[in-house]
Amino acid sequence: MSIFDKFRKQKPRIDSSEGDAVPAKAPGSDLWVKCSGCGTAVYKKNFQENLKVCEKCGHHHKMTAQERVQQMCDEGSFFEWDSDVISMDPLEFGPEYLNKLQQDRAKTRLSDAVLTGKAKIEGLEVALGVMDFHFRGGSMGSAVGEKITAMMERALELGLPTVMITSSGGARMQEGMLSLMQMARTSAAVRRLNKAGLPYMCILTDPTTAGVAASFASLGDIILAEPGAIVGFSGARVIEQTIRQKLPPGFQTAEFYEKHGFVDKVVKRVELKRTAYELLSLLTRPLEVISES
């Protein structure tokens, strides 16, 4: 069986509601959403057109994987890989866990918390992985690790640069140590891309923490992040409990990590596609003389 047998055209799952913005509770409220950054009611149509970024305060709300594909890729260029790879219940957590997986598959139309495939960004062909926080908080179990590793192995085979858009609270507890091992598995695949001279770009979106931050999300040749995205290893609450003090404002944000030297560039959502293209183009076609219009 060729790997291409697994290609499937991805239908967009556009979250016509609000992402993590709260629905407004005023009359005629289905037309409005409330920004979770500043609380302002925003006209839903504008909110969608603005890529779920608040016009007033610039808060970047969470996107679905399919919305992200639509935002980042040339129209109709995305072909999904491994759309049928799903997790099992290796620790026998029981029907509760399996049901939650089933529910999230139905809700997100994803096999697990990551969508992978081949796509074009401004005409440049890439392997693309997009995590979706709406699926079990983007947590990484065996299926997420498998899909990301397989994506990178295909990028290697096809000689493509890889773009990984992350959003995850970390490992998936219900899969125990198998979940932890996905950190090693995915990191090993990144190193193969490095060795082959294929660019690997990470785009950190809200939130990218714990096991995902501490593996493939921070191994990019280039690491971009969306404004305000929470990034880090330990959760804020755990830190506060350990050190018994309040955390400073702006702690563990994309801007914080840019300042401390762990993020190359904080890029607004609206500029993300162009920025990703330009940087990848510089890395993949260094010898071509391209005059930018």
The residues of the shown chain that bind another protein, judged by CB under 8 A, are 84-88, 90-91, 93, 105, 111, 142-143, 145-146, 149, 171, 173, 175-185, 187-188, 190-192, 195, 209-211, 213-219, 231-235, 238-239, 242-243, 247-248, 251-252, 256-257, 260-262
Tokens of 212: 């995902």
Displacement of CA 31 from its chain's centroid (Å): 27
Collapsing DSSP to helix, strand or coil, 268 comes out as coil
Q: Does 57 bind Zn ion (CB under 5 A)?
A: yes
Of 37 and 90, which CB lies nearer to Zn ion in the complex structure? 37
Tokens of 80: 């999904």
* Furthest CA-CA distance within the chain: 59
CB of 69 to another protein, least distance (A): 20
The answer to whether 152 and 127 are in contact (CB under 8 A) is: yes
Of 105 and 273, which CB lies nearer to another protein in the complex structure? 105
260 burial (CB, 10 Å; 0-12 / 13-18 / 19+) is exposed
59 binds, among Zn ion, another protein, none (CB under 5 to 8 A by kind): Zn ion
Q: Does 37 bind Zn ion (CB under 5 A)?
A: yes
Q: Does 268 bind Zn ion (CB under 5 A)?
A: no
Question: CA 79 → CA 5, 129, 207, 243, 278, distances in Å?
Answer: 11, 11, 26, 47, 22
Of 116 and 252, which CB lies nearer to another protein in the complex structure? 252
CB of 225 to another protein, least distance (A): 13
Q: Does 50 bind Zn ion (CB under 5 A)?
A: no
Of 50 and 194, which CB lies nearer to Zn ion in the complex structure? 50
DSSP character for 113? S
Of 43 and 93, which CB lies nearer to another protein in the complex structure? 93
Stretches 55-63, 79-87, 97-105, 143-151: which one binds Zn ion (CB under 5 A)?
55-63
Rounded CA gap, 263 and 225, in Å?
A: 7
59 Cβ contact list (under 8 Å, min separation 6): 35, 36, 37, 38, 53, 228
CB of 249 to Zn ion, least distance (A): 17
CB of 265 to Zn ion, least distance (A): 23
Of 13 and 44, which CB lies nearer to Zn ion in the complex structure? 44
Of 22 and 184, which CB lies nearer to another protein in the complex structure? 184
Tokens 């609380």 locate to 39
Q: Does 176 bind Zn ion (CB under 5 A)?
A: no
Stretches 54-62, 96-104, 145-153, 198-206: which one binds Zn ion (CB under 5 A)?
54-62
Q: Does 35 bind Zn ion (CB under 5 A)?
A: yes
Q: Does 54 bind Zn ion (CB under 5 A)?
A: yes
Reported as type and span, the H/E element at residue 184 is helix 176-196
Residue type, 264: D
Rounded CA gap, 30 and 173, in Å?
A: 36
